[in-house]
Amino acid sequence: MKRISILALLAAVVLMTVYMFLTLYDENLKIGRMWETPAVRPYEEPMLIMEKAVIPVKGGEAVFRGLRGEDLISPFENSDPQVIEAGKSLYFIYCAQCHGKYFDGNGTVGQSFHPLPGDLQSVRVQSRPQGILFKEISYGIPNGRQPPLATTIAVMDRWRIITYLKSLGPRE
């Protein structure tokens, strides 16, 4: 019993020492403490007032978002080798982590998703119009795991990726 009391007293002394050290550190050496950095003190200065007509409501992504996928047409020729090569490069930057290097949905990151990423060479994907693929890549797929990539991948690069994917054809 005496041993347990001594151990409890020793643990209490150690905890109190640690607590006093942290308190001393927080009160006297505030350099580098998270709550003292400017990043966590929002609204210290008055917020800027945004001028009218700063946010575009016409052109850009608004055009693509507003149209049906069937009505969107790729600006690239489907057989242009430069576009296909650029699309291939972009695919391996943005898409291969989920859809895999063989386009089968077996990418490293994609294996943690439910449902798993789709096979991009499946007849279902390859038969879809390019505009629908563009909208799915850009704004995601409802009830699916395709994240919206409109803010990640530039418009023309999305079209290049689609041109590359369409050049692969269905898996045989």
Residues 24 and 69 reside in one and the same domain:
no
Over residues 85-115, the pLDDT tens digits come to 999 999 999 999 999 899 988 888 888 888 8
pTM of the predicted model, to two decimals? 0.66
Residues 134 and 87 reside in one and the same domain:
yes
Over residues 42-99, the pLDDT tens digits come to 566 666 677 776 666 666 777 788 888 888 889 998 889 999 999 999 999 999 999 9
Residues 65 and 109 reside in one and the same domain:
yes
Residues 66 and 118 reside in one and the same domain:
yes
Residues 31 and 114 reside in one and the same domain:
no
Q: What is the pLDDT of residue 40?
A: 47
Over residues 131-151, the pLDDT tens digits come to 999 999 999 887 777 889 998
pLDDT average, residue stretch 11-32: 78
Q: What is the distance between the alpha carbons of residues 21 and 49, in angstroms, rounded to a whole number?
A: 45
pLDDT average, residue stretch 160-170: 94
Residues 29 and 87 reside in one and the same domain:
no
Residues 21 and 104 reside in one and the same domain:
no
Residue 14 lies in a domain: yes
Residue 76 lies in a domain: yes
Residue 168 clears pLDDT 70, i.e. is over it: yes
Residue 54 lies in a domain: no
CATH number, domain containing residue 141? 1.10.760.10
Residues 70 and 36 reside in one and the same domain:
no
Q: What is the pLDDT of residue 106?
A: 87
Q: How many domains in the chain? A: 2
**Domain around 27:** 2-40
